Structures are given as structure tokens and as C-alpha cells.
């Protein structure tokens, strides 16, 4: 007859042996005493070859080192556990002295969730340790897939948000554009009457010097008001662009030709450094000419006593806009060897190559405070009769519509550099 | 050489008045003004002008439609038309030039520029 103790012993043994969870037990001397069926299946190592050995490390590692059960059976304490399992382990909430961990084990092929718990004698001394192993590779793969999917979803959602924001921006511009041309029409009509009225009066009161002076003042201010509403219409006009493949160097040449007389008049020398074999950019030719003309005219204005305008075009190749620089916030382009910097936006928008144009003058420059404001509508450092403050605002608007980037770097007394980056035809 | 007969269609009464005065004082023009273009064909047949100045935005019949009406008319199609409008967009100009206008001036405009354009258009039609 089996006594009660033997019966309990046999039942426990069967529980361990028959458990679907891979389990092994080591004694105080670190010798394996139990190695259940599930453990055989999971590790491919039979109970026969493992029991009586200390080769428990061979499940996970290519060379001998303590496994979690070894540390638990020595009652090693958390410091020791931490040494081997860094931050991957957790203390068991249920069993004193027990730990659990998740890790990429088995030569990096499988993910395991494993626990180790002490087995104690009647006095509470640790006499053995039991370790269980569960293969969670599939769960981990599923989690990884989920993570990738979530990341993709997040990216898509961000892109959608960005597109929606652009759409709203475009709609706003459209609305502002309609408003601007409406206002322009309503303002230009009375201006047309005023200016002709002034001319009439000028002819009829020619003898009164002060009146003539006043009429001239009215006339010049009518022209000023007219130039502002015209600029407003220009500003709103930048909302529609037609993109076609363009050679940026010929766009630059055309723009230059249109301001040539002003450059000559102000004794400004143009230094060109164009790269000949640039890929075509996707651009609205007329709008880009407007951009470059605006930039040239600003340079002319900044150099009343002459100076130089240097124009460079080059390719910022894909390699230089490498992934390592993406998402690092204010990554600097001059690290890329081009001597300029750009916003983080540059990298998010241009993971591929970009055609760059730099226009640098030796003019009076812009103060650090003002350089932040140059793209604001109606911001101008020119006199009220010289500028509407819409030129660079229109310029920025046009570049934005191209999905490009414009940057201005300036040093007072030294000059200003405008950097334009444009997308390449065929690069998406 | 007799005075040239100019018809101006514009819904801005003050513009009509001051332009008429300025053109007539400049000499060489008889100016007739109209604040609506809906009867343009009848008026043209009645006065047989040398040139027509047309605003675009007018109630009832706009300047572009008025151009079309002139193009379809045996007399009207032989009279040069200059658009004088506050609309400054390229698209507006393209539409007008497609209707065969001889010139497009954007308001505000001084009478000297208007006269230069009128003379240019008249030369082209002689």
C-alpha cells in the first residue's frame, strides 16, 4: 500500500511531468533533477542526457553561465539577477525569491518568457529551484508586426493631417486670394477716378504752387495705394501653380535677364557657378522667375553702392541627406559639406535628392531680429514708397506651393544668402 | 482731321465723367459715356464710334460679353475695343485678348496712357 506521502509525491511528479509548460528543476548543487516532456519538446534535449548534469545553460547560451534557476537556488539576490538580466527581469509578485523575464535567447532565434522559483524545505531554506520556459516567439512576431502596422498607421495619419493642413492652408489662401482681388477691384476703381481728377486739377490750377505740390502728393500716394493692392493680388495669385519639369539654370538665366539693366545701373557684378548636369526640377517657370527676380531685386536694394551677387546651383545628393540625419531636429546642412543650414523640415520633405540654388549678395545684410520676420506679409525695411513688404512673403508662398524650402541667412554689414531647395522631377 | 469719336462703357459714373473731361480737354476726341453695356449694339449703330473703351465688371452685360456682341455685329466687329478695367490678373487679360481686343489697361490709369493706347489702337485699325 502506497502511503500518503508517496501518493502526494507521485501526483506532484505527474503534475510537473505532464505540465504543458517546459519545466526543469536543479538541486542546491546546480545539478538537473527534473526535465519534463514539454522541456524535451521545447529544447530538443532529452531528460536522459540532461538529468544529472549541470548543462542547463546550453538551452540558451553557447558557453557556460548561470541561468536564472542557478541564481535563485543560490539565493543570489536581486543585484546578481540584475547583473545577468539587466532590466529585462521582474520580481514575482506571488512567490518570494522568484523572478521572471523575457528575452531573445537561443542564439537570437527564439523569444522566451521564463520564470525561476525557489523550492524550500520545512525550515524555509532553498534546497532546489524550478525554472519554466515558454516560447513566445510567435507572440513577439505578432507584436512586432502590430508595432510596425501601428507605426505605419501613425505615419499615414500624420501625413493625412499634414495634407489636411495643407488643404486648409490652400483653401485659406484661395479665400484670401478672392478677397484680395475683390478688394483690389473695389480700390482701383476709386483710385482711377482720383488720379484723373488730380490731373484735371493740376491743369486748371497750374498757377498755385502749394496746390500743385498737394496734388502731386495725392498722385504719388494714389500710386502707392495702387502698388499695395496690386501686390496683394500678386500675393494671392501664388495659390495656383502649374508644375512642369524645368531646368533651374535656365529659369535663373531668364530671371537674371529681366533684372540685368538694374544690376548694371547699380554696378553689381554677377558671379555664376551653375552646375551644368542638374536633373530637372518640378516647377512653375513663371512663378520661379518671380521668386528669383524678387530675390535679385532685394539684393539690388541691399547694395546701393554696388557689389556682388553670387549664384550657385548644385545637387544635394541623396547620400548627403541620409537617414542618419533625418528626424534629428535641427540637422545642419553644413555638416553635409555645403556650408549652409536648413530646418528639420528639409529632411522630412527631402529624403531624396534636391536641387539647391544659393543667391548671395555683399549688401547691407539683415539684423538677426529682422531676419525672422522677412517672410511676414507687409514686413519691410524699405521706405513706405519703396516696398510693399509682400515680395518675400509671395516668394515664400511660391516655394511652399512647390513643396520646396527657402532659407535666409544674413549678417549685418556683410551680406545675405538665400537658399532654395527644390524637388527633382521623378523623385517622389 | 476731325475729332475721333470715343464711346466709354463703365458703371462708375465718376470715372466716366472725369475721363470724358480729360480726353476732351486733351483735344481731338468727342467722348460719349454709358453706364451700362446692355444696349451696346444699338448705341454703336447710332453713334458709329472710332473706338470703344469697355470696363469688364458691369451689371447686366459685362465687358467680355459686350465684346462678343460686338464681334457678332457687322459694324461692331470693325471697331477697335480697349478694355479699361480694375481687374489685373493675367487670366482676365487672356480672356479679353481672346475676344480680339486691341488693348487692355488696368485702372488706375492716367489719361496720357489712355490716349497713347487709343492712338495705337486707331493706327492699327486704319
pLDDT digits (tens, 9 = 90+) for A404-413: 888 888 988 8
Identify which of B18, B25, B57 has the shortest CB distance to residue A193: B18
Give A240: exposed, middle or buried? Use CB within 10 Å, 0-12, 13-18, 19+: middle
Q: What is the rounded average pLDDT for all residues in chain A? A: 81
Quote ipTM for the complex: 0.83
More confident residue, A144 or B26: B26
Q: What is the pLDDT of residue A341?
A: 38
pLDDT tens readout for residues A296-336: 999 999 999 999 999 999 887 654 433 333 333 233 333 33
pLDDT of residue A360: 94
Q: Do A181 and B89 touch (CB under 8 A)?
A: yes
For the cut 70, the answer to whether the pLDDT of residue B85 exceeds it is: yes
Cell readout for A364 is: 547691407
For residues B75 and A144, the model is more confident at B75
- Name which of B84, B108, B115 to mutate to probe chain A: the one with the most chain A Cβ atoms within 10 A of its Cβ: B108
User: For A198-233, b where at least 16 C-beta lie within 10 A, e where not — what string?
Assistant: bbbbeeeeeeeeeeeeebeeebeebeeebebbbbbb
Question: Is the pLDDT at B123 greater than 70, yes or no?
Answer: yes
| pLDDT tens digits, A23-68 | 999 999 999 999 999 989 888 889 999 999 999 888 777 788 888 8
**Smallest CA–CA separation between A420 and chain B, in Å?**
26
Q: For the residues A173-198, what does the mean pLDDT come to?
A: 84
- Chain A residues whose CB is inside 8 A of the B86 CB are 184-189, 192
**Candidates B19, B86, B88; nearest CB to A196:** B19
Residue A369, pLDDT score: 83
Residues of chain B with Cβ-Cβ distance to A242 below 8 Å are none
* Window 222-261 of A, Cβ < 8 Å to B: 222-223, 226, 230, 233, 237
Question: What was the pLDDT predicted at A340?
Answer: 36
Residues of chain A neighbouring B89 (CB-CB closer than 8 A): 181, 233, 237
pLDDT in tens, A270-285: 999 888 888 899 899 8
pTM: 0.50
**Structure confidence at residue A166 as a pLDDT band (50, 70, 90):** low
pLDDT of A2 reads 65
Which pLDDT score is estimated for A105?
Answer: 60
Res. B51 pLDDT band, cuts 50 70 90: very high
Q: What is the pLDDT of residue A144?
A: 79
Q: List Cβ neighbours of A56 (8 Å cut-off, separation of 6 or more).
A: A24, A26, A30, A32, A50, A67, A69, A70, A131
Sheet of B29-34, strands arranged across: B29-34, B4-9, B51-54, B81-85, B103-106
Q: Is A195 on the interface with B (CB under 8 A)?
A: yes
Determine contact, residues B103/B83, Cβ cutoff 8 Å: yes
For the ranges A136-140, A286-290, B24-28, B85-89, which has the lowest average pLDDT? A136-140
pLDDT tens for A340-352 read 334 333 443 455 6
Amino acid at each position: 500500500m502506497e502511503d500518503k506521502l508517496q501518493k502526494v509525491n507521485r501526483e506532484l511528479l505527474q503534475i510537473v511531468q505532464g505540465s504543458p509548460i517546459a519545466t526543469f528543476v536543479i538541486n542546491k548543487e546546480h545539478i538537473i533533477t527534473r526535465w519534463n516532456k514539454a522541456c524535451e519538446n521545447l529544447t530538443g534535449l532529452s531528460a536522459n542526457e540532461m538529468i544529472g548534469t549541470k548543462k542547463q545553460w546550453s538551452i540558451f547560451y553557447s558557453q557556460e553561465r548561470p541561468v536564472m534557476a542557478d541564481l535563485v537556488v543560490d539565493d543570489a539576490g536581486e543585484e546578481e539577477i540584475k547583473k545577468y538580466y539587466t532590466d529585462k527581469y521582474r520580481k514575482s509578485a506571488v512567490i518570494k525569491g522568484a523572478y521572471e523575464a523575457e528575452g531573445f535567447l537561443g542564439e537570437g532565434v527564439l523569444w522566451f518568457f521564463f520564470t525561476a522559483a525557489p523550492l524550500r524545505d520545512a525550515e524555509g531554506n532553498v534546497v532546489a529551484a524550478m525554472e519554466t520556459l515558454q516560447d513566445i516567439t510567435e507572440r513577439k512576431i505578432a507584436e512586432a508586426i502590430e508595432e510596425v502596422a501601428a507605426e505605419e498607421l501613425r505615419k499615414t495619419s500624420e501625413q493625412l493631417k499634414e495634407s489636411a493642413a495643407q488643404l486648409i492652408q490652400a483653401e485659406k489662401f484661395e479665400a484670401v486670394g478672392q478677397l484680395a482681388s475683390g478688394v483690389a477691384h473695389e480700390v482701383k476703381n476709386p483710385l482711377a477716378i482720383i488720379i484723373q481728377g488730380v490731373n484735371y486739377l493740376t491743369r486748371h490750377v497750374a498757377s498755385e504752387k502749394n496746390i500743385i505740390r498737394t496734388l502731386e502728393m495725392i498722385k504719388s500716394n494714389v500710386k502707392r495705394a495702387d502698388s499695395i493692392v496690386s501686390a496683394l493680388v500678386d500675393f494671392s495669385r501664388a495659390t495656383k501653380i502649374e508644375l512642369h519639369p524645368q531646368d533651374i539654370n535656365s529659369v535663373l538665366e531668364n530671371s537674371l535677364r529681366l533684372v540685368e539693366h538694374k544690376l548694371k545701373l547699380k554696378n553689381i557684378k554677377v558671379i555664376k557657378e551653375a552646375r551644368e548636369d542638374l536633373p530637372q526640377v518640378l516647377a512653375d517657370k513663371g512663378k520661379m522667375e518671380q521668386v528669383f527676380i524678387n530675390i535679385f531685386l532685394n539684393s539690388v536694394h541691399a547694395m546701393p553702392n554696388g557689389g556682388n551677387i553670387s549664384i550657385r546651383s548644385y545637387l544635394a545628393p541623396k547620400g548627403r541627406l541620409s537617414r542618419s540625419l533625418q528626424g534629428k531636429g535641427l540637422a545642419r546642412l553644413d555638416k553635409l559639406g555645403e556650408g549652409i543650414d536648413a530646418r528639420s523640415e528639409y529632411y522630412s520633405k527631402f529624403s531624396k535628392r534636391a536641387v539647391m540654388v544659393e543667391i548671395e549678395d555683399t549688401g547691407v545684410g539683415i539684423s538677426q531680429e529682422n531676419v525672422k520676420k522677412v517672410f511676414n506679409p507687409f514686413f519691410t525695411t524699405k521706405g513706405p514708397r519703396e516696398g510693399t513688404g509682400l515680395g518675400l512673403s509671395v516668394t515664400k508662398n511660391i516655394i511652399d506651393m512647390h513643396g520646396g524650402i527657402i532659407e535666409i541667412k544674413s549678417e549685418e554689414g556683410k551680406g545675405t544668402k538665400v537658399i532654395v531647395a527644390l524637388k527633382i522631377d521623378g523623385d517622389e | 482731321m476731325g475729332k475721333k469719336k470715343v464711346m466709354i462703357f463703365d458703371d462708375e459714373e465718376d470715372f466716366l465723367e472725369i475721363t470724358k473731361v480729360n480726353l476732351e480737354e486733351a483735344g481731338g476726341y468727342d467722348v460719349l459715356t454709358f453706364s451700362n453695356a446692355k444696349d451696346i449694339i444699338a448705341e454703336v449703330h447710332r453713334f458709329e464710334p472710332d473706338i470703344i473703351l469697355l470696363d469688364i465688371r458691369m451689371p447686366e452685360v459685362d465687358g467680355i460679353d459686350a465684346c462678343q456682341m460686338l464681334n457678332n455685329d457687322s459694324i461692331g466687329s470693325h471697331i477697335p475695343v480697349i478694355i479699361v478695367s480694375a481687374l489685373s490678373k493675367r487670366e482676365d487679360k487672356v480672356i479679353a485678348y481672346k475676344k480680339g481686343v486691341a488693348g487692355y489697361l488696368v485702372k488706375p490709369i492716367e489719361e496720357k496712357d489712355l490716349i497713347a493706347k487709343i492712338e495705337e489702337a486707331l493706327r492699327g485699325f486704319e
